[in-house]
Amino acid sequence: MNSTSSDLLAPLDLAFWNIETAEHPMHLGALGVFEADGPGAAGHAYELLAARAAGVPGLRMRIAGVLVPVGGAARVPVTEFDPLDHVRLTEPVDDFHAAAGALMQRTLDRARPPWEAHVLPAADGTSFAVLFKFHHALADGLRALTLAAAVMDPMDLPIARAPKEEPARRRGLSLPFPGMREITLGDLDPRRYPDHVRSVVSSATQAVAIGASVARATWGVRTSPALTSRASGTRRTAGVVLDLDDVHRIRKTVGGTVNDVLIAVVAGAVRRWLDERGDGSEGVEPRALIPVSRRRPRTAHPQGNRLSGYLVRLPVAEPDPLERLRVVRAAMDRRKDRGPNRGAGAVALLADHVPPLGHRLGGSLVGQNARLLFDLLVTSVPLPSLGLRLGGCPLTEVFPLAPLAQGQSLAVAVSTYRGRVHYGLVADARAVPDLDVLARAVTEEVRALIAACAP
């Protein structure tokens, strides 16, 4: 295949494509719940999704290997595209999340465009849900939102600004060279070199600094066995809905950002969950990876993942909910001061320094060691404030679902939609059979914070 005529995967896309296994699929998801306007609403939604998917170019792209660069891959359009290979209508279900968990554990067909949409009618006929699944190599959270919105009912949206031209990808620095003397920190000062060499040295210096931060982040790790697991290949999901006004009330009392509050809620919920299941929270301080998008919110291109992140130790062992929030806020402030391109949380940027063949050959090794980098994922997925509809039926709830890395038991994704906060929880079903307890603990933690903020 001629790579010049296709959309080459960015290094991080390649990493997601190559670390996938049958037990650890690398697709993200979203479970949207719609209010049904009649007994045939789910069937009508299925027909609309299938019809509209055929007209969305991004949904016709599959992942295929390329000759150059060696080990690389690209998104290429399929010549024969059947939406019914991707859009399915299930039998009526009693529990949307139970059905979503079973569907999330199934890998996507890698020979076809890697996405699916499952329409789930409610057994009582009052609602239906749609579970979208997109492989992380096909789309990140923002791109997945764009693709899903393209099959919703048309609505007036602000015109997206044209994206700025991406700078040329920096090349990694191969060291050592024959006869090279020992390099000092002064030698690595980018100001001493012309532009091209300066960019190479800066890139290599950044990689070395991130690697060192990752190594330091493993020192003195105090996590819980409940957050790590052997690969079972099973999935369980749960959802929690909070009032955004409650979150703002807490934020205004303590300070910080809405995101600080939402992360602190996760810390408190994990504490309650560990104590209730008998594992104990004493001394537990798990590392949470907080992804940070490196693209403009309204920019759908380039399609590849543009992610960095912050690594924060959650104060699970701290008994006071307000102190947990203060610790999270201080930690996030420190990370933001340094920026998303530095520190252990920027580990995703290291993918840029690995050649395509390295991703292909080393993907399984990276996947097996994900738990050495962080203990759980806590990510935020932006949603439009305008109400979405499908077949005239309003979207009332939407739960983002993150992929689960190998050796980890829990991933948390959060979205704010029309005045409410939606937590989407994904867990290894065997390691976390009590995910409902954790979901309940999220609500309890918010109540505890509100009570602590009361005069």
Per-chain mean pLDDT for the chain: 82
Q: Which of 46-60, 102-116, 272-286, 306-320 has the lowest mean pLDDT?
A: 306-320
- What's the token pair of residue 349? 């940027």
Share of the chain above pLDDT 90, in %: 55
Range of weakest confidence among 294-298, 314-318, 400-404: 294-298
For 282-336, give the DSSP string.
TT-BPEEEEEEE-S-TT---S-S--EEEEEEE--TT---HHHHHHHHHHHHHHHH
Q: Copy the structure tokens of residue 246.
A: 């409650």
pLDDT of residue 304: 64
Integer Cα distance of 388 and 386 in angstroms: 6
pLDDT given for residue 292 in this prediction? 83
**Cβ-Cβ contacts under 8 Å for 260 (sequence gap 6 or more):** 251, 325, 328, 329, 332
The confidence score (pLDDT) of residue 57 equals 93
**For residue 93, which phi and psi values (nearest 5 degrees)?**
-125, 155
Whether residue 241 has pLDDT greater than 80: yes
Helices (H), 171-277: 195-217, 244-254, 258-277
pLDDT average, residue stretch 408-425: 95
Better pLDDT: 427 or 201: 427
pLDDT for residue 300 is more than 80: no
Residue 273 CA to residue 35 CA, distance in Å, equals 32
**What is the per-residue pLDDT for 371?**
63
Q: Check pLDDT > 50 for residue 330.
A: yes
| Distances 220 to 8, 156, 217, 287, 309 between C-alpha atoms, Å | 40, 51, 8, 11, 21
What's the mean pLDDT in 110-117? Answer: 97
* Residue 105 contacts residue 237 (beta carbons within 8 Å): no
Q: Mean pLDDT lowest for which of 168-172, 238-242, 269-273?
A: 168-172
pLDDT tens for residues 146-169? 899 999 998 754 433 333 433 333
Copy the structure tokens of residue 188. 């690595």
Q: Which two tokens stand for residue 338?
A: 């340094």
State the Rg of the chain over Cα. Answer: 22
Residues 347-396 have pLDDT tens digits of 555 556 566 666 555 555 555 556 668 889 999 988 877 789 999 999 99
Q: Which pLDDT does position 245 carry in this prediction?
A: 96
Q: Which residue in 251, 260, 374, 224 sits closest to 313, CA to CA?
A: 374
Query: Residue 355 burial by CB count (10 A; 0-12/13-18/19+): exposed, middle or buried?
Result: middle
- Written as six digits, the tokens of 267 are 């810390």
Selection from 172, 170, 182 nearest residue 211 by Cα: 172
